[in-house]
């Protein structure tokens, strides 16, 4: 088995043919597909109360006719990497809908090759989500970069999972895929997407793609961004209204200070006509690049399937893997780290987690949640779990005086090109790569199970941030909670590198957490308590992917409370 085969192989089996007519493809856009166009009725196979049927109902409920929203409330449009993960699970329910999901997204691709992180639904009111289409102004501000005129999008991107998703969707029903020329139509768009990232976004000159906004990496509020973001002057609070606080507790969302910086970065990028290379924020991230490499492997498989040369793509994936190790691997940490390409002065609040003098955050005005900020010494707030050696709670740093400057031991400047000394789950994601050196893969497995992430020991699922880190919070967005897509990637990575027992345990924990949390957006890594939106599409989709077996494309047996297998 070659490396790209190893990467994209999962025991999935063949889906049953669709019982519905296949609509002809629409140039540049996905075809309208009714919600009922599924390969089979999951309730007749598994029972209406099974995990499989419940996950299927989430995807049916979030389907718009051409794509799937992440959730009906907080995220009412189409998101880029969400759609890739959704298609991976949706292929088990309806290969046709999975194909249309990706076609719709790529129909909004810009002429320069970028795939925007949001494709806006024009029927959704502008005030339902911020930043809205009138903020991004894609058709005008993005005209020089070739933004589409007939659909409104954002101007930034998200992790490139799309070629991997396209290949997996193809394998679920190759006959349907070939009939619709699915891969031949997508291949030029996917190739252009990769060209954009490898050429326009190689801002460090080392071969890796850089992100120019934290939202591009997908882990929006990670502490890994604190130092690079600290150099950004935030937008004035009166210039925008946060719609996300209508759907979630302020203490679980990014602070107003961080959100102001996100807005400033996006507005500056827009005002430069979405030209790359001039941003004050430019970071090489290990997860973003690992997913680019994984998709480059998949693009090589797609090329072979449609009869175009593939050798150069496979070789490029190998070179990118070596560049990833050379530039972002820290052997002392046993982890990949982010590289801050800009560097410069670091404000004190970057390391203390508090605002600028006199500035209030969203949490300042929010009522205290039960169990949050009132934990007894030696316990982590809201988790009931004992603190690990050396671990600090978020409250430990919250009392720092923002006027006092950097906290003890924090740098006052970060030189350009420095690695960011924060342990994030992004540093574990390269485990998904089949060409990773064996010693690096082994070290990542040890780090995943060690005190910083606790996988298989202290935690049910791998947290998004270091359990012992200064900014760890099990409920705040990307600063500690466990996410289903990152753990799904780790499950694949563990399996690809021969850690079958660990992968099986993680798979079981993922399925338990998905069902118990109501397919939550993310969960407390200690307790599995659901956080954020419920009926979240990629949680449901990746649940379906984990449930499916190789025998006939139907779900694997579910487990009862004792752990014994029972019929689904």
The answer to whether the beta carbons of residues 162 and 156 sit under 8 Å apart is no
Cα 405 versus chain centre, distance: 33
Tokens of 230: 């600290």
Q: Judge residue 464's burial from the number of C-beta atoms within 10 Å of its C-beta, 0-12 exposed, 13-18 middle, 19 or more buried.
A: buried
Diameter over CA atoms, the chain: 67
**Is the alpha carbon torsion for 291, 292, 297, 300 positive or negative?**
positive
Q: What stretches of 307-435 show up as alpha helix (H) in DSSP?
A: 311-328, 349-352, 394-398
What DSSP assignment string belongs to 166-210?
HHHHHHH-HHHHHHTTHHHHHHHHHHHHHHIIIIIT-TTSSS--E
Q: Which of 256, 268, 521, 535 is catalytic?
A: 521
The answer to whether the beta carbons of residues 436 and 394 sit under 8 Å apart is no
Q: Which residues pair with 548 in a beta bridge?
A: 555
- What is the C-alpha to C-alpha distance for residues 296 and 302, in angstroms, rounded to an integer? 10
The answer to whether the beta carbons of residues 147 and 133 sit under 8 Å apart is no
Question: Which residue is it, tokens 């410069």?
Answer: 344
Residues, the chain: 568
Phi, psi for residue 451 in degrees, rounded to 5: -65, -20
Cis ω before 544 (30° cut-off from 0): no
Q: Which of 111, 202, 220, 333 is catalytic?
A: 220
Which among 428, 423, 432 has a CA at the least distance from the CA of 443?
A: 428
- Report the chain's terminal Cα–Cα distance, integer Å: 32
The answer to whether the beta carbons of residues 465 and 222 sit under 8 Å apart is yes
- What is the C-alpha to C-alpha distance for residues 359 and 125, in angstroms, rounded to an integer? 30
**Is the alpha carbon torsion for 23, 26, 28, 31 positive or negative?**
negative
What number of CA atoms fall less than 13 Å from residue 259's CA on the CB side? 23
What number of CA atoms fall less than 13 Å from residue 230's CA on the CB side? 28
- Residue 543 CB neighbour total at 10 angstroms: 26
Active site residue 220: yes
Active site residue 326: no
- What is the C-alpha to C-alpha distance for residues 393 and 54, in angstroms, rounded to an integer? 36
- What is the C-alpha to C-alpha distance for residues 506 and 59, in angstroms, rounded to an integer? 23
Which among 329, 333, 293, 284 has a CA at the least distance from the CA of 313?
A: 293
3-state secondary structure of 224: helix
Which residues participate in catalysis according to the annotation? 220, 521
């Amino acid at each position: 088995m070659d490396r790209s085969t190893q990467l994209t192989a999962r025991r999935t089996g063949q889906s049953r043919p669709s019982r519905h007519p296949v609509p002809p493809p629409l140039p540049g856009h996905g075809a309208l597909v009714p919600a009922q166009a599924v390969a089979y009725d999951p309730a007749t196979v598994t029972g209406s109360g099974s995990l499989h049927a419940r996950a299927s109902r989430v995807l049916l409920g979030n389907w718009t006719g051409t794509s799937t929203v992440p959730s009906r409330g907080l995220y009412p449009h189409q998101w880029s990497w969400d759609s890739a993960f959704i298609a991976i699970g949706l292929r088990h329910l309806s290969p046709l809908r999975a194909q249309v999901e990706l076609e719709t997204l790529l129909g909004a691709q810009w002429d320069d090759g970028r795939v925007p992180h949001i494709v806006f639904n024009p029927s959704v009111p502008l005030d339902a989500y911020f930043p809205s289409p009138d903020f991004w102004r894609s058709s005008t501000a993005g005209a020089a970069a070739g933004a589409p005129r007939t659909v409104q999008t954002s101007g930034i991107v998200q992790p490139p999972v799309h070629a991997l998703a396209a290949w997996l969707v193809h394998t679920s029903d190759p006959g349907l895929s070939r009939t619709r020329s699915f891969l031949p139509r997508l291949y030029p768009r996917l190739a252009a997407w990769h060209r954009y990232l490898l050429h326009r976004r190689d801002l460090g000159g080392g071969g890796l793609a850089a992100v120019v906004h934290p939202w591009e990496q997908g882990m929006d509020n990670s502490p890994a961004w604190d130092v690079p973001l600290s150099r950004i002057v935030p937008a004035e609070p009166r210039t925008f209204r946060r719609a996300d606080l209508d759907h979630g507790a302020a203490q679980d969302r990014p602070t107003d200070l961080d959100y102001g910086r996100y807005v400033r970065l996006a507005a500056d990028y827009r005002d430069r006509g979405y030209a790359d290379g001039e941003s004050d924020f430019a970071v090489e991230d290990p997860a973003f690049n690992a997913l680019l490499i994984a998709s480059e492997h998949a693009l090589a498989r797609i090329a072979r399937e449609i009869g175009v040369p593939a050798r150069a793509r496979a070789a490029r994936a190998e070179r990118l893997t070596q560049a990833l190790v050379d530039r972002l691997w820290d052997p002392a940490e046993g982890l990949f780290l982010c590289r801050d390409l800009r560097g410069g002065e670091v404000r004190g609040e970057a390391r203390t987690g508090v605002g600028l003098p006199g500035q209030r955050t969203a949490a300042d005005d929010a009522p205290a949640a039960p169990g949050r900020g009132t934990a007894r010494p030696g316990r982590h707030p809201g988790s009931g779990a004992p603190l690990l050696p050396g671990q600090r709670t978020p409250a430990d740093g919250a009392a720092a005086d923002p006027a006092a400057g950097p906290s003890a031991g924090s740098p006052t400047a970060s030189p350009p090109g420095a690695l960011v000394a924060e342990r994030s789950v992004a540093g574990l994601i390269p485990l998904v790569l089949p060409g990773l050196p064996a010693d690096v893969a082994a070290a990542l497995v040890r780090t995943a199970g060690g005190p910083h992430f606790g996988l298989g020991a202290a935690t049910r699922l791998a947290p998004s941030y270091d359990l012992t880190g200064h900014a760890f919070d099990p409920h705040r967005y990307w600063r500690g909670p466990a996410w289903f897509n990152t753990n799904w990637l780790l499950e694949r990575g563990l399996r690809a590198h021969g850690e079958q027992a660990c992968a099986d345990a993680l798979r079981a924990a993922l399925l338990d957490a998905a069902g118990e949390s109501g397919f939550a957006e993310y969960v407390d890594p200690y307790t599995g308590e659901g956080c954020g939106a419920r009926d979240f599409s990629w949680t449901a989709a990746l649940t379906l992917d984990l449930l499916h077996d190789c025998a006939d494309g139907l779900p694997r047996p579910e487990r009862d409370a004792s752990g014994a297998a029972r019929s689904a």
